[in-house]
Amino acid sequence: MRRLRVRPASRLAGRLRVPGDKSISHRAVILGGIAAGESSIRGFLTGDDCLRTARAMQALGVPIDGLPGASLRVHGVGLRGLRKPKHPLDMGNSGTGMRLLIGLMAGQGFEATVTGDESLSRRPMDRIAVPLEQMGARVIGRGDQVLPPVTVRGGPLRGVTYRSPMASAQVKSAILLAGLNAEGQTTVIEPARSRDHTERMLQAMGADLQVDDLAVTLTPGPPLAAQDVTVPADFSSAACFLVASLLVPAADVLLEDVLLNPTRAALLECLQAMGAEVNVLGRREVAGEPVGNLSARPDGLLCSEVGGEMIPRLIDEVPLLAVVATQAEGKTAIRDASELRVKESDRLAAIAHTLTAMGARVQELADGLDIVGPTTLHGAAVSSHGDHRIAMAAAVAGLVAEGETVIEDTECVDTSVPGFVESLRALGADCVEEEH
Ligand code: S3P
């Protein structure tokens, strides 16, 4: 087991390129695997989640060179070239990996099983089972929520029009991956826009895909052209350091090559609304995605109201936003965020519990949080709740708390940000990780 000790920081400075984006890494290796020809991926995230997806693709018959490194060559087998894996595919902690692969396998002609760790085994798969069964696949799991392990019986599929009850890129992507091998068009309509990396990558690979406001329509047919992908630095990982640099008194941190896709980067809008000065330098496009260098300065942080269509665009940053809110003047109200209850942990409960233990004034609601600031946080013994985003948000809070913060069970951080502690230390933070 690992434990992270964090002490208050008076200064953070330096340039940092956080590891590759998790969402794009999953998609690059999955879509590269069913492309016609050879793709190269540079800057692949070598966190456990994406490595599991890459190994699952190997088990499905896709030759991949370079694992477990960040530079991969993927020898695509084509849209219908996957083969039945010899063993169940163990997706570890990765909800994205599991949902995308279930969608992918729904359109293949074999049966396969996916499993996961304790946390993933509690996450609902009915949200993808319902549309995939409408398309003609069988998706079998435990109980009404279709909990993992899940067995997928792929079959001939027909395209559907599916109105998703939640804005979820995992749901949308699973359906689109199935739609690639369906008979006829598949349309997914979301209640609000979720991250659009699948759409961008499919279009770049030559798929016939139209986006019309909240509706995405895929017409199957053309093979996917292999492409070379350079994965930008992960926005959600960069956000930890950005928020730390906003809260630590003397901070001068530049985050390089950060993904700035508008369906991901709403935290920036939110921080600006709270009074932060956010600077983006060198805007450019990498692999069909907007990228830039990022820095931020505080300017008297104020409370904010966050909800509605903004939530899916900052879904993974809500724990960090809660940390910012503890240092902002007034009551920050986060609403419409009940999806956080079915992530790697119940993130509303976990962050409320963590920040309350550190002296913050937080009220947990069914779909959000009320946080009154500013509060002087104090170090406390807290748990990651087995969730990388909670562990990292607690570490950021620890940088501005008085005394020492001790976070238990921090190995989960490796699922998304390998080298997190080393990066904090390189910027001057006083933190150590120990085995026990
Ligand atoms: C992801 C989508 C989000 C996000 C997750 C990654 C993706 O989940 O929370 O970390 O890569 O598609 P939902 O789409 O279920 O909200």
- 189-242 pLDDT tens trace: 999 999 999 999 999 999 999 999 999 999 999 999 999 999 999 999 999 999
Between 95-106 and 48-59, two packed helices, what is the crossing angle to 10 degrees?
Answer: 20
The residue assigned the tokens 């790697």 is 344
Helix axis angle for 169-179 and 95-106, nearest 10°, is: 20
Query: Confidence class of residue 12 from pLDDT cuts 50, 70 and 90?
Result: very high
| pLDDT confidence of residue 323 | 98
At 95, phi and psi to the nearest 5?
-65, -40
Q: What is the mean pLDDT of residues 301-308?
A: 95
| CA 355 to ligand 1 centroid distance, Å | 24
Q: Which atom of ligand 1 lies closest to the CA of 127?
A: 15
Assess whether the C-beta atom of 96 lies below 6 angstroms from ligand 1. yes
Residues in the chain: 436
| Closest by Cα among 145, 34, 48, 43 to 96 | 48
Pocket of ligand 1, candidates 23, 25, 96, 120: which has the most ligand atoms within 8 Å of its Cβ, to mutate? 96
CB distance 415 to ligand 1 below 6 Å: no
Which one-letter DSSP state was computed for residue 312? G
Q: Could you give the residue ranges of the DSSP H alpha helices within 137-292?
A: 169-179, 197-204, 235-247, 266-273
What pLDDT does residue 155 have? 86
Q: How confident is the model at residue 253 (pLDDT cuts 50, 70, 90)?
A: very high
Beta strands 305-306 and 330-334: pairing type? parallel
Atom 4 of ligand 1 has which residue's CA nearest to it? 316
Catalytic (active site) residue 316: yes
What's this model's pTM, rounded to 2 decimal places? 0.98
pLDDT value of residue 298? 81
Find the helix packing angle between 235-247 and 388-400, rounded to 10°: 20
CA of 396 to the centre of ligand 1 (A): 22
Query: Does residue 93's CB lie within 6 angstroms of at least one atom of ligand 1?
Result: no
Q: What is the pLDDT of residue 300?
A: 86
**Straight-line distance from the first to the last Cα atom of the chain, in angstroms, rounded to the nearest whole number:** 6
* Residue 50 structure tokens: 């994406």
CB of 433 within 6 A of ligand 1: the answer is no
Q: What is the mean pLDDT of residues 377-403?
A: 98
Q: Contact, 18 vs 392, CB < 8 A?
A: no
Interatomic CA distance for residues 424 and 16, integer angstroms = 10
- 411-434 pLDDT tens trace: 999 999 999 999 999 999 999 999
pLDDT on residue 297: 87
CB-based burial of residue 432 (10 Å sphere; 0-12 exposed, 13-18 middle, 19+ buried)?
Answer: exposed
Q: Does residue 270 carry a pLDDT above 90? A: yes
Atom of ligand 1 nearest to the CA of 26: 11
Burial class (CB within 10 angstroms; exposed 0-12, middle 13-18, buried 19+) of 294: buried
> Partners of 433 in the beta sheet?
4
- Assess whether the C-beta atom of 344 lies below 6 angstroms from ligand 1: no
The answer to whether 45 touches 215, Cβ cutoff 8 Å, is: no
- What is the distance in A from the centroid of ligand 1 to the CA of 256? 23
> Taking the CA of residue 322 as centre, how many other CA atoms within 13 Å lie in the half-sphere pointing to its CB?
35
Residue 4 has a pLDDT of 98
Catalytic residue among 234, 316, 346, 414: 316
Nearest to residue 49, comparing CAs of 236, 204, 175?
236
pLDDT at position 130 is 98
Q: How far is the CA of 168 from the centre of ligand 1 (A)?
A: 6
The answer, yes or no, to whether any atom of ligand 1 lies below 6 A from the CB of 170, is yes
Q: Whose CA is nearest to atom 9 of ligand 1?
A: 316
At residue 435, the pLDDT reads 93
CA of 351 to the centre of ligand 1 (A): 18
Does the structure show a pLDDT above 80 at 299? no
Region 53-75: what's the mean pLDDT?
Answer: 98
Amino acid at 205: M
Banded pLDDT at 287 (limits 50, 70, 90): confident
Whether 282 has a pLDDT exceeding 80, the answer reads yes
Give the whole-angstrom CA distance, residue 245 versus residue 319: 16
Q: Which helix (H) or strand (E) holds 375?
A: none
pLDDT band per the 50, 70, 90 thresholds, residue 165: very high
Task: Measure the CA–CA gap between 380 and 367, rounded to whole angstroms.
Answer: 26
- Ligand 1 contact via 169 beta carbon (within 6 Å): yes
- Whether the CB of 345 sits within 6 Å of ligand 1: no
pLDDT at 34: 98
State whether the beta carbon of 23 lies less than 6 angstroms from ligand 1.
Answer: yes
Nearest to 259 by CA among 316, 303, 301: 316
Mutation pick for ligand 1 pocket among 170, 342, 412 (CB with most ligand atoms within 8 Å): 170
Which amino acid is it at 225?
A: A
Distance CA 431, CA 413 (A): 15
> Is any ligand 1 atom within 6 A of the Cβ of residue 194?
yes
- The answer to whether 229 touches 24, Cβ cutoff 8 Å, is yes
Rounded to whole angstroms, the Cα distance separating 335 from 213 reads 23
φ, ψ dihedrals at 169, nearest 5°: -70, -25
